[in-house]
Each structure stands twice: as C-alpha cells, then as structure tokens.
Amino acid sequence: MFRPHPAEMSDNSALLHDLEKLVRRNTALISAGGIPRLMRSGVRYQREPKGREEWLDCTEVLRARVGDCEDLACWLAGELRANGDHRARAVLKLVRPGLKHCLVMDGRGNLRDPSRALGMGKRHR
C-alpha cells in the first residue's frame, strides 16, 4: 500500500511519477503470474472514503475485492504492459478543480476507464 503525500495531490508531475511506480509494480506482479485479468477478476470500483487516499497494487485490490480509480487504472496499465503494450500508462483527467480521475491510455492513444467498466457511476464523464 502506498499513501501519496497530501502536498503531492495537487502536483500532477509528482502524481504521474507515483502512478508510474504503481504501474511498474503491477506489471512485475502480473508478469510473475497468478494475477487474473482485471475485467475477469470479480473486482468492483469503490470510491475511497473522503479524506483517505491509499494506493493499492493489484494483489491488494484482489484481496480487498474493490479499488478506486488509480488502483484499477494502474492494474489495467500494468496488465497491458505485461501483455506487450509497453507504452500503456495511467493518466489523469481533471474533472473539476480539486478532483482528478485516473484513466488508462494504451499504446495507440486510446483512453480506457476501468472504473466505469467496473461499476463507477456517471459522475466522471
């Protein structure tokens, strides 16, 4: 589990750096085997309680059976990398001032939203 420092939460470059670390960790875990594909794992999206921010790798999300947007996006980006799309990455979308949403950009530039696919409401369009 990783907890980003509150000061970093407003700094996109620091957030992207930390997201990349989580994607790399997930890539290694998935490449080692035993991790199911995200969309077939039974995991669902669940927003974290207000004021709490914990970033979970794919094994921790699998154990909890739920994850929020950065947990799921970093799992999917790691999965894509482990399967040959080495340019897949987690990206941030500004929803409104003070609220960012994490998505996946694959190597072809397509955006994917695993949170929406796994049960997130329509708030983050």
Whole-prediction pTM value?
0.88
Q: What is the pLDDT of residues 35-44, one digit of tens each?
A: 999 999 999 9
Tell me the domain boundaries of the chain.
Answer: 6-124
pLDDT band for position 52 (cuts 50, 70, 90) = confident
Q: With beta carbons less than 8 A apart as the criterion, state whether 7 and 18 touch.
A: no
Rounded Cα distance between 99 and 96, Å, is 5
- What's the pLDDT tens digit per position in 91-124? 999 988 888 999 999 999 999 999 999 999 854 4
What pLDDT shows up at residue 2?
54
